[in-house]
């Protein structure tokens, strides 16, 4: 934890996916305030179908989950940085939805047990 996961309808080359994944990991660690060693970043391999505002086109959904650390200020900073990053890769920020989920430690497992 935290986890940051992105799905997009935009076709991305492997190098782009890897770079976005690397940057998402850094952004999550920096803004949520947790060591990057605890961050899991996921960027889906294949483009999915997303209709945003009733239209097809390049769009993305980004989910951030964490045990603590997600405050209104943190969420706003994450939204700004993630949209900036994805915008540089051709995904219009107006077509990006983000979701922030604060997870109880007893509801997050790792290495055979939970965090709480």
Residue 2 a catalytic site member: yes
* Active-site annotation holder among 2, 72, 92, 93: 2
Q: In this structure, how many other beta carbons lie within 10 angstroms of the beta carbon of residue 106?
A: 10
**Residue 24, preceding bond cis, omega within 30 degrees?**
no
Q: Bridge partners of 42?
A: 5
Residue 8, φ and ψ in degrees, nearest 5: -145, 155
Total residues found in the chain within this entry: 116
Write out the catalytic residue numbers. 2
């Amino acid at each position: 934890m935290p986890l940051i996961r992105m799905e997009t309808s935009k076709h991305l080359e492997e190098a782009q996916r890897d770079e976005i994944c690397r940057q998402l990991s850094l952004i999550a660690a920096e803004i949520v305030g947790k060591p990057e060693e605890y961050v899991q970043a996921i960027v889906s391999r294949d483009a999915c179908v997303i209709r945003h505002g009733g239209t097809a086109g390049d769009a993305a959904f980004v989910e951030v989950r964490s045990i603590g650390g997600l405050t209104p200020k943190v969420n706003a900073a994450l939204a700004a940085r993630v949209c900036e990053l994805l915008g540089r890769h051709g995904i219009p920020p107006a077509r990006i939805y983000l979701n922030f989920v604060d997870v109880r430690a007893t509801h997050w497992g790792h290495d055979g047990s939970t965090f709480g």
